[in-house]
A and B are shown apart, each in its own frame.
Chain A
Amino acid sequence: MAALDPVTLAVLKGRLEQIADEMDATLFRSAFNPIIAEAHDASHGLYHAETGETLVQGKSGLPIFVGAMSFAVKAVIDKFGATGGISEGDVFIFNDPYEGGTHLSDFKLVQPFYRDGKLFCFLASVGHWHDVGGNVPGNYNPVATESFQEGMMIPPVKLFSKGELRQDVIDIMQANSRLPGSLYGDLNGQINALRLGNDRLGALLGEYGADIVAGAMTELRDRAGQLMRSLIADMPDGRYSADDFLDNDGIVDEPLRIALDIVIEGESMTLDFSRTSPACAGPVNISRSTAIASCYVALKHVFKDVPANAGVLEPITFVIPDDSLLSVKAPKPVGGYTETILRIIDTVFVALSTAAPEMVNGCAYGTINALSLAGHRKNGQRWVMFSFFGGGHGGNPEGDGLNHGNAPISTATIPPMEILEAAYPVRFTQWALRPDSGGAGRHRGGLGAIYEIELLEEKADVFLFGERGRFAPHGVVGGGDAALNTFTYEQADGTHTPPMASKMVGIKLAQGQKVRLETPGGGGYGDVLERAPGAVAEDVRLGYVSADAAAKTYRTIIAGDGTVDTAATEVLRAESAQ
């Protein structure tokens, strides 16, 4: 086949991305559960017919899925491909996290796309369902020691066989969920998205011909790889290390080390996690595919202009030992995977901050803070309020970090507090920025948040799955760490904090009692003594930073009228510089 002209290539890139975007939009609009509809915890793309590699990815899907989906497609190819078990009209469904990445809540639908009777590529859809069984509504079980306690596990099976829907598969899944209606609605949304992708891709092939489109897909992957290699080549060769910790696994109260050594040699990069702690008892383990997917997310945040396809990972080699907590097999629990991958992303930022300080930012708040309040209404109806909460982004070479952003692995928005109050018997008593939570630095980390919630019904069970209760998000290039995550809950005898910092199940809350979550900000960027005293005074005036912290951390004295006491500040800064 003749080489593709650059113009057709650029045009097809846009057309292909539009197909994936449109699949995303279809599911977001029609999904039942807010985790997909509002938080966009879903993704769609096109994948290679033989390798399952990512060819094209939607722009609005959840970043972590972007890396993980290719493993899901590969799992289907491995199980059915060799035995001739894939036919036109099939759609496969599964949530096995050891094969397809992430956790049991994420259901993957994989559909082979045929052109003239020949397998051309795969289309896939993944979405986070509201409840997939297990011990805890919403499936974040902080004390799970086996995946059986986290939910049902469906291996890759056929949802459609040659175009025939297998209702029995749906029946099995619905029987295993606390919210079968929501499950059915989300599943339908994903089927709609695949159907639409199928039609759009068919039309595109009709317009340009299968060879041209296939050629463009290969070419786009190659060019992403080429761009990636040239950017790595710009970084000085060397070994760059970063160590960070998880508070604990929710079962054993010991810190877990996530350690990364990045080796840059010419235009290739090795990410070596050998020094990381071994598999643990609780649910913060992850599978190898999840670990690689999270590195993809971290690298895409640093190399943000490289197109989102498998080419990004082409120059990268991974070293992840089999006994590591980053490479577990069934039935090790993986429900809390978000916390571990956020930590992996942090280590990538910190390690690369030495190699390329101008490309990296301070760590973001680094915990998903899955908080659930659940109970029964007076009429016996069950209610479950389950949500993730935000925090600050890191300071960066251009400026201060964003206040109250979403997690790097996600593009999720938070549900409005008015929607939550209308849907559940709770009253928010505070929804605010958290002063002094951003790491200090030339560019300050963004602020985390304070959420305080009062129970209006008689009683409720509360659980929290969070992190960063003991190890704060790091700053880079000399920037300071952000504040720790804190969680408190009221009981008849006073206010308590969980013994395992940010993880706890079985909190019994009575009417009028409150829980309070204070999330970390982002890490700082650059030396704090390089922050202009005027900027510190402005932060104090607006209440982002307290006058105390201004003096102690920023070495800036604010006078009674809110202006900088220049003389005192100069003395203080001169002392600190020594």
Chain B
Amino acid sequence: MNDLSRKTVVGVDVGGTFTDLFFLDEAAGTCGVAKVPSTKPDQSVGIRGGIGEGGVELGAIGTIVHGTTVGTNALLERNGARTGVITTTGFRDVLEMRRRDRPQTWGLWGSFDPVVPRDLRLEVDERVLADGSVHTAVDPDAVKQVAKTLLERGAESVCVFFVNSYANDANEKVALEAVREIWPNPHITASSVILPEIREFERGSTASLNAYLQPPVGNYLERLEDGLRDGGFGGQVLIVQSNGGVMSAKVARELPVRTALSGPAAGVIAGAYIAEAAGEPNIITCDMGGTSFDVSLVADGQSALSAQTSIDFGMVVRTPMIEITTIGAGGGSIASVDRGGLLQVGPESAGSDPGPVCYGLGNTRPTVTDANVVMGRINAERPIGGKLDRLDVEASKEAIRVHVAEPLGIEVMEAAEAIVRVANAKMAGAIRLVSIERGHDPKTFTAMPFGGGGSLHTGALIKEVGLARALVPRYPGVTSALGCVIADMRHDRVQTLNTMLDMLDLSALNKAVEEIVIEAEGLLDGANVAFEGIERLVEFDMLYLGQTHTVSVPVPDAMSGSKSALDTVKIKTAFEEAYKATFGSLLDGIGIRVMNLRVAVIGTRPKFDLALLAPSEGGSVDASRTGARQIWFDGKWWDSPVYDRLSLPVGAEVPGPAVLEQADTTILVDPDLTGTVDSYGNFVIARKA
């Protein structure tokens, strides 16, 4: 281990409201947390403030690992850079034409505004054919000419995107060099560098969004690093990618599109680690926010990766991401009764501003949070977040009476319970989607809530879906920051092969894999970070001839050290295993095609002992009890004790009904459930025996 490992590691997760920090001093065996308000527009101010709040000297920090939402927010709020695109003659509208879809199945309204407007998408004569042959070579002077026009029109960043460049990047490379010669800044992206994969819209969209994010993410990281260095920081800044791995800040500036789901990914990484330490390799993480409920599945300690996601209609990012399923059910989701007399919760949301009725900020339609407040599940006198002094229970009641109870002809309390049950059912649906629908048995999974609201609903969810139990981490509010500290460094590469398995040129393939591995390992070395080991994963996207959707085929024994040892038999065996697992039976006699090669190189970073988080000796259940209140469950009020969560000792048993409170979370234990504090300080909820 080098010197770095003896310094403090800081994980930083910047959310919409709070900046969470997690400090780990491995040498001293101590850790700490801090929570400060997020700062806008410059989040780096809040981060520096948070480090100060944690009482750690910048000079003592070896590594800062950051889950950032700067990229995500720039995409969602559409305030990335003014970006230009240089593309093949005849194809400038690919980005605007998408894959000829529409925003929703029913109803033909809605439109699409591409992040790069039409007058900033310019064409040059060039053409590569699908077989990789160059039909028309590109003229560098013509490229410079259109690049100049883009600059004149105010473009700050630029993306070079030619059709079929996945098959041969020669023209894109020439164009890239030509642009570099005249472009005044480093914000230049080429589609074949970002994603040498077949499918022009997906590749072009990903590449142009990368260019769109280069200036805002790049500037932000530069400000952050400069500010930290000015304060005496001499270590490394690492950024969490959507795939759950980290990369150096330098790589992040070049490939900001890989941070699109940086924040949530860190949370899932932490969830997997915490659960595994607690002996639960199978978990479903549940993050409930104001407008959405995000779930992600971790099986055998491995989180599922998806190849692409849509940030919004038509905003496709294709780069490996931790698979997170989002549904429109959050604390701010609005409950209503339609004209057919059917109770609906969401997708309309009051968000956090104006937020639920009880916030008193102008919304009069009842939300899930209002129902929780009316049922006593949320403490109206001590709202989480610290923005408000108290919540207006009467206003919540009135809203539920007018909008739900009266239209349904039921009592207010019944209506409040109904809202939560319908919301729970929607959340349960999301959990089923990632578990049962993917062939996993929910009985073998544990729910892990994090974020502010999840722990109110987890008990109901484990009953509804039939999950084994729920595990609430000791600091659910800083889970993402903790995830930053333990995330591995990871680099993913894809290359389209698009060839029949029996036509595969194995020596070229093995050479390509080795080159990718060498390049990625170079990035690991360049980051100046201590690793415990290096893992190399090789995977193919494969299909039967005639199909269009591929299955992911990991080849477990593809590498021997850093040498690629692929052969046709290995690949075929792996394909048949993967296909059978997905669809049940093989299709004999039909040719097998290899669409893409995927290589991931992972530098595993040292982990820390989660026992550090456990409650200190002493303390008792009785001493942790802070009071009692009436809580509504199953049609009646229950006298329920309230506990201070963090003072509960290891081994404490808390039978429901009960409420556990801590600074950023409320944990509900239903009457038919019971909870215990495990040796790491996690609170584990299960059915009463």
Contact = CB atoms under 8 A, between A and B. Distances in A.
B429 A414 contact: no
A427 B94 contact: no
B108 A396 contact: yes
Nearest to A33: B546
Interface stretch (B196-204, B247-255, B376-384, B664-672): B196-204
Interface string B105-136: 11111111000011100000001011000010
Contact of A418 (B163, B340, B341): B163
A466 interface: no
A509 B583 CA distance: 41
Interface residues of A, number: 89
Interface in A401-433: 401-406, 408, 411-419, 421-422, 427-433
B166 interface: yes
Contacts of B587: 184-185, 188
Contact of B111 (A400, A412, A543): A400
B462 to A, nearest CB: 15
B112 A403 contact: yes
Contacts of B432: 18
A143 B683 CA distance: 71
A296 to B, nearest CB: 11
A401 B111 contact: yes
A366 B91 CA distance: 24
B583 A30 contact: yes
B492 interface: no
A416 B90 contact: no
Interface residues of B, number: 70
B130 A411 contact: no
A11 B437 contact: no
Contacts of B361: none
Interface stretch (A146-154, A167-175, A223-231, A333-341): A223-231
A492 interface: no
Contacts of B344: 10
A10 B404 CA distance: 13
Contacts of B166: 418
B339 interface: yes
A181 B107 contact: no
Contact of A417 (B112, B129, B200): B200
B422 interface: yes
A456 B130 CA distance: 11
Interface stretch (A118-126, A303-311, A566-574): A303-311
A37 interface: yes
A542 B117 contact: yes
B292 to A, nearest CB: 16
A512 B668 CA distance: 71
Interface in A165-201: 179, 181-182, 184-185, 188, 192
Interface in B566-602: 582-585, 587, 590
Contact of B546 (A10, A182, A393, A418): A182
Contact of B425 (A10, A60, A400, A430): A10
B129 A307 contact: no
A137 interface: no
Contacts of A541: 119
B547 A31 contact: yes
A14 B410 contact: no
B98 A404 contact: yes
A37 B547 contact: yes
A416 B101 contact: no
Contacts of B640: none
A361 interface: yes
Nearest to A413: B99
A433 B111 contact: no
B90 A428 contact: yes
Contacts of A406: 100-102
A416 B342 contact: no
The secondary-structure label for the interface of chain B is loop
A428 to B, nearest CB: 7
Interface stretch (A21-29, A322-330, A482-490): A21-29
B137 interface: no
Contacts of B129: 421, 427, 456
Interface string B416-457: 011001100110010011000100000000000000000000
Nearest to A26: B583
Contacts of A456: 129
A432 B342 contact: no
A6 B341 contact: yes
Contact of B338 (A34, A305, A408): A305
B97 A449 contact: yes
Interface string A354-392: 000000010010000000000000000000000001100
Contacts of A433: 93, 96-97, 118
A59 interface: yes
B102 A396 contact: no
A88 interface: no
Nearest to A25: B437
Nearest to A522: B108
B210 interface: no
Contacts of A419: 198-199, 548
B549 A29 contact: yes
Interface in A440-483: 446, 449, 452, 456
Contacts of B546: 32-33, 179, 181-182, 185
Contacts of A29: 549, 582-583
30 contacts: A6-B341, A6-B410, A6-B418, A10-B342, A10-B343, A10-B425, A15-B425, A31-B549, A32-B547, A33-B546, A181-B590, A301-B106, A304-B104, A304-B106, A390-B100, A397-B109, A398-B110, A401-B111, A402-B102, A403-B97, A404-B93, A404-B96, A405-B108, A416-B199, A416-B200, A418-B200, A419-B198, A419-B548, A422-B130, A431-B94
Given A11-B425, A429-B90, 8 more contacts: A7-B421, A10-B344, A300-B106, A401-B111, A419-B548, A431-B94, A432-B93, A433-B118
